[in-house]
A and B are shown apart, each in its own frame.
Chain A
């Protein structure tokens, strides 16, 4: 007991120390932000009212964005479903295949969608096809991991029974085991669809189609009222997809019932939408591609620039990776702090309905804006550098953390709280001892999960000049400097692997 409490206090102290180190390392300067708050306000004011007349021009790229995410999510999720049983440790599939697939998943999981898209443009040409390919690979990696984790904890009695009757293992899996993981699988896929719409919206930045190109153009030309209309359109699209996915999730998890015909109509509509999206996404363009490019890229991975890899100076890989981690760390902590009041505000349980609705809309609006856009806006206030990266990551984290945290608040068990009240415990002590213990674990796991995502996001911030490893990586790729790109890629893989291991250890405690 004593020991446990001391360890808890040590953990908190260590986290605080890490945060302040990371903040100092990335040059966090609240005074600078405060002194230049006018710039931010200016940009916001200029976005309203948005340029309504320009709205129709947005529809085509917006549709392309949605199309890329629908096609990519569906394809990636299907591939993941095929691969997941082969990755799961508890099923009798060949071990070498399992090891190879797991390595592939871990490898692809390391790279943010944007870097995947940039890579794809070298192989399949500029355009939405590259974006769709990137979303597919990105979805595949995440879904394969989540689904195989689920399979490992699912009951396997029916599966074993089918095996003993001589059913081939792959078929036995889909008959005997998939039904018990199906609803989580679909829920995860729907959640990824939402995320992917936001991701697709910035892929245009590297020439991979969708609304990103237009968005980047309008921000750099400072036509903020047009930026406003694009963001508004995105917000509406995200709202639509969120409510659709919430409805479908409720159906999938059985919280809402639908008749047979309605179910069929929904399935048919989903299939048609996916097929139409996939069929009209545009063809790959192999004009610029050659086997030589592909060989050179692979060569970079096999023979990376070891000099750069082991360089411990300020321009070396170690320093850049450290900066990336520091940005992610400081940004996650700041974002978590900001999420706390927002989640309270958006809780239907603690707040009156209109307030809660307002809180949720603010959260959704924050979430709808693609994260590089925050980078581009903050950079106008705080200039290029890692501090801008920290601010960007912080704002992006707010959406997800406050959503998860709000869910935890809304499912809190109030019985102990009331029991303590009836013994005369004052309200603050009641909150501290009956409610916080329930929220702690949910909050911790949301923050850890977001940190994991933020490492990836922070590694592309360099694209807009907001620090980290992204700038050198994209620069190297643009200049066909594959040995440097290879070194960075290997560094990122090792980093994500190390963070995975660390957060696994933390979760255990």
Chain B
């Protein structure tokens, strides 16, 4: 298995908030998995653990045979370099150009001095430009990000994630802050990219309809526990446990 979680726990506020409570599942290479669940179920916490932004309290996380939960310093960064991530609020540098934002993803591969001086080199620039072209922003290379629309921003963020040539693409509510039409376009882009690049995708979503339409498999979280794990093409009643007893139904 490519990604494997075993009894992962994470709590906040000295244990009073159990965000994840013994989560176990495994993802095979090339799968498109959607993690669904009501607000507060622990979806964002899960992604933060997977990208190494936080550490789990107990349990194991294994990426391609390497223990991510135990990695520190250089070893952790080596694992992180194989990830691409997309966030609900885009997490771009608003003042910088679209091209620069994509180039930022090349920084982990560069030695310190060129990285600080911005000597990215012709090859990386061309690659970044090609990726922006791929997501439909060929004419926005030099536009500062704050001038772009929400959908365009998320396209820049996707290009930035692809620039890492990631083995695993993590997406936390990638379309939640977009309008439905734009959100659908972004999902179609993600699906298309996954097909052509053969990516493994793990996406969070509280939008059940979108998750069902675009993914191969659903993992349902509720108050930090896995309450559903199975195919995406099931009737809504099969997912009742996911939204029952949570803070709110979608």
Binding site for B on A (CB under 8 A): 1, 4-5, 413, 415-416, 418-426, 428-430, 432-434, 437-438, 440-441
- Interface contact A418-B53, CB-CB below 8 Å: yes
In-complex Cβ contact of A429 among B91, B100, B115 (8 A): B115
Pairwise interchain contact B87-A419, C-beta atoms closer than 8 A: yes
Out of A415, A422, A424, name the residue touching B89 (CB < 8 Å): A415
CA distance A434 to B115 in the complex (A): 13
Are the CB atoms of A434 and B93 closer together than 8 Å? Answer: yes
B239: interface (CB < 8 Å): no
A416 to B86 CA separation, bound complex (whole angstroms): 11
User: Which residues on A sit within 8 Å (CB–CB) of B76?
Assistant: 424
Most buried by B among A415, A418, A421, A424: A424
Query: Is the beta-carbon distance between A423 and B91 smaller than 8 angstroms?
Result: no
User: For the complex, what is the distance from the CA of A423 to the CA of B104, rounded to whole Å?
Assistant: 10
> Is B92's CB under 8 angstroms from A416's CB?
yes
Known: A422-B83, A424-B81. 18 other contacts (CB 8 A): A5-B118, A415-B91, A416-B91, A416-B92, A416-B93, A419-B87, A420-B107, A422-B53, A422-B80, A423-B81, A423-B105, A424-B80, A424-B108, A426-B108, A429-B112, A432-B115, A433-B107, A437-B93
Contact of A426 among B77, B105, B141 (CB under 8 A): B77
A422 contacts B85, CB within 8 Å? yes
Q: How far is the CA of A440 from the CA of B53 in the complex (A)?
A: 27
Give A442 to B99 CA distance when docked, in angstroms: 22
Complex CA gap A425/B104 in Å reads: 8
A421 to B80, CA, bound (A): 8
Which residues on B sit within 8 Å (CB–CB) of A413?
Answer: 94
Q: How far is the CA of A433 from the CA of B120 in the complex (A)?
A: 12
User: In the complex, which residues 59-105 of chain B have their Cβ closer than 8 Å to any Cβ of chain A?
Assistant: 76-81, 83-85, 87, 89-97, 99-101, 104-105
Give chain B residues whose Cβ lies under 8 Å from the Cβ of A428.
112, 115-116
Complex contact A438–B85 (CB within 8 A): no
State which of A423, A432, A438, A440 has its C-beta within 8 Å of the C-beta of B108: A423
Closest to A415 in B: B91
The answer to whether B246 has its CB under 8 Å from any CB of chain A is no
Contacts of A440 in B (CB 8 A): 95
* Min C-beta distance of B36 to chain A, whole Å: 22
**Centre residue among B76, B100, B141 by max chain A CB count within 10 A:** B100
For A422, the chain B residues whose CB sits under 8 A away are 51-53, 80, 83, 85
Distance between B194 CB and nearest chain A CB, rounded to angstroms: 19
CA distance A263 to B115 in the complex (A): 54
Number of A-B contacts (CB under 8 A): 87
Q: How far is the CB of B131 from chain A (nearest CB, A)?
A: 14
B77 to A, closest residue via Cβ: A424
Q: List 29 A-B contacts (CB under 8 A).
A: A1-B125, A1-B142, A415-B89, A415-B91, A416-B91, A416-B104, A419-B85, A419-B87, A419-B92, A420-B104, A420-B107, A422-B52, A422-B83, A422-B85, A423-B108, A424-B76, A424-B79, A425-B108, A426-B77, A426-B112, A426-B115, A429-B110, A429-B112, A429-B116, A437-B93, A438-B93, A438-B94, A438-B95, A441-B95
Tell me which residues across on chain B come within 8 A of A420, comparing CB atoms: 104-105, 107
B99 near A1 with CB under 8 A, answer yes
B77 nearest CB across to chain A (Å): 4
Using Cβ atoms and an 8 Å threshold, which residues of chain A touch B91?
Answer: 415-416, 418-419
In the bound complex, CA of A1 to CA of B97 (Å): 9
* Smallest CB separation, B115 vs chain A (Å): 5
Q: When chains A and B are docked, how far (Å) is the Cα of A420 from the Cα of B104?
A: 8
Set of chain A residues within 8 Å of B164, measured between Cβ atoms: 423
Across the interface, name the chain B residue whose C-beta is closest to A440: B95
- Least CB distance, B152 to chain A, in whole angstroms: 16
Which positions 125-143 of chain B face chain A at CB distance < 8 Å?
Answer: 125, 141-142
Give the 5 A-B residue pairs with the shortest CB-CB distance, closest first: A424-B80, A419-B91, A422-B51, A415-B91, A424-B77
Could you tell me the distance between the alpha carbons of A419 and B53 in the complex, rounded to whole angstroms? Answer: 9
Residues on the B chain within 8 Å of A1, using CB: 97, 99, 125, 141-142
Q: How far is the CA of A425 from the CA of B91 in the complex (A)?
A: 14
Whole-angstrom CA separation of A426 from B125 in the bound complex = 20
Please report the C-alpha to C-alpha distance between residue A4 and residue B118 in the assembled complex, in whole angstroms: 13
> A422-B52, A423-B83 are known contacts. Are A433 and B105 too (CB-CB below 8 A)?
no
Residue of A nearest to B50 (CB): A422
Per the bound structure, the CA–CA distance linking A422 and B164 in Å amounts to 12
Contact with A along B153-183 (1 / 0, CB 8 A): 0000000000010000000000000000000
| Chain A residues whose C-beta falls within 8 Å of the C-beta of B80 in the assembled complex | 421-424
Of B81, B89, B93, which is within 8 A of A433 by CB?
Answer: B93
B94 smallest CB distance to A (angstroms): 7
Contacts of B89 in A (CB 8 A): 415
Q: How far is the CA of A425 from the CA of B115 in the complex (A)?
A: 10
Once A423-B81, A423-B84, A425-B104 are accepted as A-B contacts, the answer to whether A433 and B112 lie under 8 Å apart by CB is no
Alpha-carbon distance A107/B216, docked complex (angstroms): 72
Whether A426 lies near B53 (C-beta < 8 A) is no
B79 — which chain A residues lie within 8 A by C-beta?
424
Complex Cα–Cα for A5 and B93 (A):
17
Does B107 lie within 8 Å of A425, measured CB to CB?
yes
B99: chain A residues at CB < 8 Å are 1
For A5, the closest partner residue in chain B by CB is B118
